[in-house]
Structure 1
Amino acid sequence: MSLILILGASRGLGKALTQAYVEQGHRVIATVRKAEDMAAVQDLGAQVLQVDLANPASISGLAWQLDGKSIDLALYVAGVWDGHAAGVPPTQQQFDAVMHSNVLGFMQALPQIAPMVQEAGGVVAAFSSEMSLLSSADESAWLYRVSKAALNMAVASACRQWPGLTLLALDPGWTQTEMGGNSAPVTVAQSVQGLMQVLEQVRPEDRGSLLRYDGTRTRFLDA
């Protein structure tokens, strides 16, 4: 039985992964932003912590709540969508909301959890997107794309800081969640199954890579 930390489990893929890992017999600690979301995640069988991953003051107590536990897998799932196309300038409020959740939260949480995961010889994975890659850039959702590109850089840079930690990014695909919409081509079940299979097969050389739910790999770093 592994100990799995899921940061951002109120809904969508975070909640689905929480349920799937609990059903596999793992111990899961999951975070939610609002107190009213705690009961539903607890009912899945997870231990639940209330942490607002877009709020540095809330994140600052994460390590204290985890109390030095040895963590086998930590997933940073939290994120928000902004679909404004290039040429539509984001407001400061929109920019802050996206960047705080998608980037700052990870950068605040990682230094707290990295020693606990490294001690277990485990994996930290941040949820990114194929939309983050410069090679696939277009005019759609430019703030979201920018935030995920920044997250990729945070992952790549942190690999240098913690050389003994298997740290990578994940692409769950365009999935039928509240964020992805009903017209997305990938079901939640397909994404969760694929992500779990990919994570089971992670190798040390996958550090600094973007791993897609279907097994495709894109490296950010040289060997």
Structure 2
Amino acid sequence: MGTALIIGASRGLGLELVQQLLAAGSRVIATVRTAEARAALQALGAEVLTVDVADPASVSGLAWQLDGERFDLAFYVAGVMRRQGATTPPTQQDFDAVMHANVLGAMQAIPQVAPLVEAAGGVFAFMSSSMSQIGSVPASNAWLYRTSKAALNMAVAAAQHDYPRATLVTIDPGWVQTDMGGATAPLTPQDSVRGMLATLAGVTDVDQGQLLHHDGRRAAHW
């Protein structure tokens, strides 16, 4: 089933991606931040690297840790949310936390990982959100998170031009029952990941640089 890289796999959708890919017979390399998460994923059968995507020095070590690898699927899952609306200015601490994890970490990972995806003619996916779509903004809640995911969409769409032999996409997992989505969300992590993997398995050149949804829909507008 090939080799997959999951960046940000300690819990939630990242952990579920590891579990479903391993169950399908894939070799999985996963990144986590803590020794506890590392041990848990190793027990599942994944190969594990310790990387903090919010720390530029930590992310910069991906290239040498992955030297010689080829990825049929790479997935940048790591992300941070702050829920304040536009009546509350973001603090520098919140801005840095969200933008470092959601945007800078991804932009640092792309030049290191995308060539390894190109080598396999694979897919490099980035966890985005329907909240990133500028053409349909129903509220101001989580405006910093919305801004970060819109920036991520642009970063991936731009980067695609430098890696034409890979398919780079952003993908919306839907509203999922995770720490970020809450218990009242309509989708389980299992259903969201199952849908995302099916959608990514069916991408074509037409999808390069685009925002996709977990259920296979393509974003009508950004």
Short-chain TM bin = over 0.9
Deviation at residue 42 of structure 1 after TM alignment: 1.0
Deviation at residue 207 of structure 1 after TM alignment: 0.4
Report if the CA contact (8 A) 1:210-1:219 is conserved. Answer: no
**What is the TM-score normalised by the length of structure 2?**
0.97
**Structure 1 residues 60-85: Cα deviation after superposition (integer angstroms, max 9, x where no partner):** 11011112211111000000111001
Between the aligned partners of 1:11 and 1:189, the Cα distance in structure 2 is: 13
**Structure 1 residues 126-145: Cα deviation after superposition (integer angstroms, max 9, x where no partner):** 00000000122221110000
Q: Does the residue aligned with 2:53 lie in a helix, a strand or coil?
A: coil
Matched residue, 1:200: 201
Bigger mean CA deviation after superposition, 95-104 or 188-197: 188-197
Q: Does the residue aligned with 2:135 lie in a helix, a strand or coil?
A: helix
Q: Specify the code of the residue in structure 2 equivalent to 1:136.
A: S
The reply to whether residue 104 of structure 1 matches residue 104 of structure 2 is yes
Report if the CA contact (8 A) 2:133-2:221 is conserved. Answer: no
Q: Specify the code of the residue in structure 2 equivalent to 1:20.
A: Q
Report if the CA contact (8 A) 1:156-1:220 is conserved. Answer: no
Kindly report the root-mean-square deviation, in angstroms, between the aligned alpha carbons of the 2 structures.
1.2
Aligned pair count reads 221
Matched residue, 1:39: 39
Bigger mean CA deviation after superposition, 31-40 or 19-28: 31-40
Deviation at residue 220 of structure 1 after TM alignment: 7.5
Report if the CA contact (8 A) 1:123-1:166 is conserved. Answer: yes
The reply to whether residue 160 of structure 1 matches residue 147 of structure 2 is no
Q: Specify the code of the residue in structure 2 equivalent to 1:212.
A: H
Between the aligned partners of 2:220 and 2:113, the Cα distance in structure 1 is: 23
Q: Specify the code of the residue in structure 1 equivalent to 2:203.
A: V
Matched residue, 2:190: 189
Q: Specify the code of the residue in structure 1 equivalent to 2:20.
A: A
Report if the CA contact (8 A) 2:85-2:142 is conserved. Answer: yes
Q: Specify the code of the residue in structure 2 equivalent to 1:17.
A: L
Moved over 3 A (4+): none
Between the aligned partners of 1:121 and 1:153, the Cα distance in structure 2 is: 22
**What is the TM-score normalised by the length of structure 1?**
0.96
Q: Specify the code of the residue in structure 2 equivalent to 1:101.
A: A
Q: Specify the code of the residue in structure 2 equivalent to 1:16.
A: E
Between the aligned partners of 1:25 and 1:99, the Cα distance in structure 2 is: 34
Matched residue, 2:113: 113
Percent identity of paired positions between Structure 1 and Structure 2: 59
Q: Specify the code of the residue in structure 1 equivalent to 2:178.
A: T
Alignment of 1:2-21 (within 5 A): 2-21=2-21
| Unaligned segments of structure 2, at least 5 residues | none
Q: Does the residue aligned with 2:20 lie in a helix, a strand or coil?
A: helix
Matched residue, 2:142: 141
**Structure 1 residues 15-53: Cα deviation after superposition (integer angstroms, max 9, x where no partner):** 001010001100000000112210111111100000001
Report if the CA contact (8 A) 1:168-1:210 is conserved. Answer: yes
Between the aligned partners of 2:72 and 2:165, the Cα distance in structure 1 is: 14
**Structure 1 residues 147-169: Cα deviation after superposition (integer angstroms, max 9, x where no partner):** 00000010111012222221010
